[in-house]
Amino acid sequence: MILCKPEKEDSYMTIDETTPENLSRGNGEALWKQIALALENDIRCGTFSGGGHRLPTEQTLTTRFAVNRHTVRRAIQALAEKGLVRTEQGRGVFVNAEMVEYPLGRRVRFSESLTAQQKAPKGQILHVARVQAPIDAREALELETRDKAWRVDRLGFSEDRPITLSSHYFSYHRFPKLAEAFHENDSITKALKLSGVTDYERRETRIHARPATAEETRILELPRGRPVLVTEGINIDSNALPVEFSIARFAADRVQLVT
């Protein structure tokens, strides 16, 4: 029994997968079209719990609608053509997540971008460490060869779905107490404000795509073989001094980068 919440918050409708669902037979409308419409309504109302969740098996759907597998497959094909679902070989049919637009403007703010789209943003700091600055971070932050840097790994969510895994580098010499700021919150912007940087903007962004690593696949909950979109960015303060170098990996099937 699946519960699907309608517009009224004090009532629910139910879908019983064990009892065949009535279809209009003999009225000229193909059964597969009716099934596709029923499944689309289920997806729209959240019956299958949003993007990344599996539809019932073919056998379950043939039982629910009292039709053969060919009819169910045609309905699934129609949903796939509309971009609502995807089929993963050997795993099943999954609801496609609604794409999140992430603008790459001069003032890039994760929470603000998602809030503007009526998404619920959330961030989680995974790790904060003082490290030997890698060459790309060292060059971006204008550090000397032996200078240390803070590395902050952060996981960003939209509607409780992980969409970005990012690594942020900051000068240890300039922000010696930055780790303490991250103990108080999970926001890059707020941590920088506590460290004396009231505002910053993007100076440069580079974008490319590549296969996800095993760790990225696990953390971002990606299907095997899915790529990630990678951005490398440099942020500067009001005096044009480099503040942050970041490498962000976005789930390519959940995020659309907008310039």
Residues 6+ apart with CB under 8 A from 189: 109, 111
Helix crossing, 31-45 with 69-81: angle to 10°? 50
What pLDDT is stored for residue 8 in this prediction? 39
What pLDDT is stored for residue 52 in this prediction? 56
Rounded Cα–Cα distance for residues 215 and 160 (Å): 19
Q: Does the global pTM surpass 0.75? A: no
Query: In a structure prediction context, what are the per-residue pLDDT tens digits for the chain, which is 259 residues long?
Result: 334 444 434 333 344 444 567 788 877 789 999 999 999 888 877 777 544 578 899 999 999 999 999 999 999 999 888 778 888 777 888 887 677 877 777 877 777 777 776 676 788 999 999 999 999 999 999 999 999 999 999 999 987 889 899 999 999 999 999 999 998 788 899 999 999 999 999 999 999 999 999 999 999 988 778 899 999 999 999 999 999 999 999 998 788 887 7
Query: Which amino acid would we find at residue 51?
Result: G
Q: Is 21 helix (H, G, I), strand (E, B) or coil?
A: coil
Contact indicator for 215, 208 with CB cutoff of 8 Å: no
What pLDDT is stored for residue 12 in this prediction? 35
What pLDDT is stored for residue 89 in this prediction? 77
- Greatest CA separation for the chain: 78
What pLDDT is stored for residue 49 in this prediction? 56
Contact indicator for 139, 169 with CB cutoff of 8 Å: no
3-state helix, strand, coil in the chain (%, to 5): 25, 35, 40
Question: What does the block give as tokens for 245?
Answer: 């170098």
Count of residues for the chain? 259
For residue 191, report the phi and psi dihedrals to the nearest 5 degrees: -65, -40
Q: Is 205 helix (H, G, I), strand (E, B) or coil?
A: strand
What pLDDT is stored for residue 226 in this prediction? 82
Cα dihedral 14, 19, 25, 27, rounded to 10, equals: -10
What are the structural domains of the chain? 2-95 (1.10.10.10), 100-258 (3.40.1410.10)
Question: What does the block give as tokens for 249?
Answer: 């990996």
